[in-house]
Each structure stands twice: as C-alpha cells, then as structure tokens.
Amino acid sequence: MRIAITKGTTQDHVAVTRADGSRTRFAFTKKGPYPHDAFHFFVERGLGMQAGFWGLVARGMEPETVQAMALAGGHASAARAAVPDPEIVELIQAERLVECFEAASWSGGADDAAIMAMAEPAWATSLVPPPAGVPDKLGDIRAALDAFLSDWRDVAVNATLELEWPEAEGDQR
C-alpha cells in the first residue's frame, strides 16, 4: 500500500493506494510540526502491527470507519476510561506510543527510557498491555521516524512524501 502525505499549512493531506488499486483520501488537522499519521506508520510498521490504523486501512477499511470503530469500542482516554473491545487493542497500543514519540518530537527528543516512562502509564491508563517487544524495537522505530521527520522539515508546503506499507495477509490485493 502506498501512502502519500502532502504537507499543508493547517492540515496535511493523505492519499492511499491499496495493493488492489483501491484508493482513499483524507485530511488531518495539524497537531504539531509533523503529520500524526506518519508517526502511526513508523510505530505500527516497527512493531509489526496488523490491526493498528494502517493495517486496517490496508485491509480496506476507510479511515473514518477506523476512527468510529475506536470510539464505539471504548477508545480509552482520560475522560472515557473503559476496557476496550479486543478488536481495537492494537489501535490503542499504537496511539499511546505515537503520542510519546510526538511529545518527544515537540520537546527536542527523548531516549528509549523516557519513551517507555511515558508509554507504560499511558497503556495502563488505557487498560491495554504494552505491545510485545517494544523496548527492543524503539531504536529501529526512532531511526526510521527520525529520517522521515528530517525529510519532512525540508519539504515545502504542498510537497508530498511517500511511504510504503508492507503487504500482509488480509490486505486488499
């Protein structure tokens, strides 16, 4: 699946072409200097997640449907702490780690210990376990993410960077 993220001023625009040729597009309001969905890409790919945001989109789900599923399934937040439906556990696990990497990017960076110090209570508060093997994979996630973030800083508004999601069983072919 090809993911093209175009830099905007108030929103970034995402165009997806799945393995079967089907397409979807969406915009995401900027939460900071980097596209939120790129953080998801590197976290989910680095952890081998197939039921996170990008894995579900690869299987044919529309981004709005993923969001609605997360809300309906008990997406835990400070205001809505509830045991989430099993089908959204990976979504929540990824979201919490994404938030940690985003916070680190806004504050000049954080080492693995600091990322884990932020992530562990976030997963606990969200009532999900940590994904398997996270501490051993943080360095690879960070290296790939840092390369993308460096490229993103250098591109002009309306420029596009492309990412390639690895195909997996169940993806739209």
Residue 66 C-beta-side C-alpha neighbours within 13 Å: 21
- Total length of the chain: 173
Q: Give the model's confidence band at 82: pLDDT under 50 very low, under 70 low, under 90 confident, else very high.
A: confident
Q: Which two tokens stand for residue 152?
A: 């993103």
Least confident of 39-53, 60-74, 98-112: 60-74
Look at 71 and 141; give whichever has higher pLDDT.
141
Q: Is the model's pLDDT at 97 over the cut of 80?
A: yes
Look at 77 and 39; give whichever has higher pLDDT.
39
Residue 69 C-beta-side C-alpha neighbours within 13 Å: 19
Residue-wise pLDDT for 52-75, tens only, equals: 999 999 999 999 999 888 877 666
Average pLDDT over residues 164-169: 84
DSSP 8-state symbol, 59? T
User: How would DSSP label each residue in 94-132?
Assistant: HHHHHHHHHHHHHTT---HHHHHHHHHHHHHHTT-PPPT
Q: Is the model's pLDDT at 120 over the cut of 70?
A: yes
Identify the CA nearest to 94 among candidates 141, 139, 29, 49. 49
- Measured CA to CA, the distance from residue 28 to residue 149 in angstroms comes to 17
Average pLDDT over residues 1-14: 97
Least confident of 41-50, 57-66, 73-82: 73-82
pLDDT of 146 reads: 94
